[in-house]
Structure 1
C-alpha cells in the first residue's frame, strides 16, 4: 500500500537505478540518453 511505501521512503517520484559491472562511461552515456529522451516527452 502507498502508506507503507511512503513510510519506507519509497515515494511515487523515486527513481531506482540498478547497474551491474559495466564500464562507467557506458553507464553515463546510457543515462544521458535516457534523460534526454524523457525530457522530450
Structure 2
C-alpha cells in the first residue's frame, strides 16, 4: 500500500507538473506534447 500524500505534497506535484508542461508547450507547441513527454521530465 502506498503512503498517503499530504496536501502540500500534492500541491507541489501539481505545480511541478504544470511548470514542466508549460515549458514543453513553449518548446514544442501544444500539439507536440504528450503525457509521456511530461512524465519523462518529471
Question: Highest relative contact order (Cα 8 Å, sep 6+), 1 or 2?
Answer: 2
Higher radius of gyration, 1 or 2: 1
Into which bin does the TM-score normalised by the smaller protein fall?
0.3 to 0.5
User: What is the TM-score when the length of structure 2 is the normalising length?
Assistant: 0.46
Structure with bigger helix share is 2
User: What is the TM-score when the length of structure 1 is the normalising length?
Assistant: 0.47
